[in-house]
Amino acid sequence: MDQDDAAVVAGIGNRLRQLRRNRGQTLTAVAGATGMSLSTLSRLESGQRRATLEMLLPLARTYGVTLDELAGSPQTGDPRVHMRASRHNGATVISLTEKASGIGAFKYILPAPKKPLVPDLKTHDGYEWLYVLSGRLRLLLGSTELILGAGEAAEFETRVPHWMGNGDQHAVEFLALFGPQGEKAHVRARPASPPKRS
């Protein structure tokens, strides 16, 4: 194996860790989704075990990425984003960015609930920005409850216990920008008003 190939193999563990953290998943959740043991996943992420194709295929499916992304293959020059959908806690999640690290952009589609939703607040490192495209989004931040409608945005540190779900009995779609290291996305929900002329 030449130096370039060795560097690719050595980087897989870090990319796996970043993908898992970007999606706010635990090793236990990934183990359940892939059928792999916790110790195997931990050793893969730490670089103590070399990944095989049989291990990477279920991980790529779970994270909604290609094998090229897991391996860190160089870009081909094609600027298009090849969106992939995955399922997470009943929601359809579409990754809108190709990078496995840094701020990630995602579109969430929550179907109309068949029964009342029971909030399960979570905490993890990072910073999140949300923008509701359609429907009503229920956002719980600690003891605060908000209902966001289409065109409304919110941002928060994900160390605050939080949960997102349908604000009523209808489907809701929203965009989320998530920075696993607490990076803030500099965005505006609507364009700034032009300065008034005197």
Length in residues, the chain: 198
Highest average pLDDT, of 62-76, 117-131, 177-191, comes from 117-131
56 and 103 fall within a common domain: no
From residue 16, how far is each of 89, 100, 104 by CA, in Å?
20, 8, 15
Q: Please check whether residue 115 lies inside any domain of the structure.
A: yes
- Would the pTM count as exceeding 0.95? no
60 and 111 fall within a common domain: no
Which residue is it, tokens 């589609």? 109
Higher pLDDT, 54 or 152: 152
Q: Please check whether residue 184 lies inside any domain of the structure.
A: no
Task: State the pLDDT at residue 189.
Answer: 46
Q: Please check whether residue 192 lies inside any domain of the structure.
A: no
Q: Is the pLDDT at 184 greater than 70, yes or no?
A: no
Give me the domain span that covers residue 10. Answer: 3-71
Task: State the pLDDT at residue 57.
Answer: 86
Least reliable range by pLDDT among 15-24, 139-148, 149-158, 167-176: 15-24
From residue 91, how far is each of 142, 171, 172 by CA, in Å?
22, 10, 10
Q: Please check whether residue 65 lies inside any domain of the structure.
A: yes
CATH number for the domain including 67?
Answer: 1.10.260.40
pLDDT digits (tens, 9 = 90+) for 90-135: 888 888 876 655 678 889 999 999 888 889 999 988 889 999 999 9
Task: State the pLDDT at residue 112.
Answer: 92
89 and 171 fall within a common domain: yes
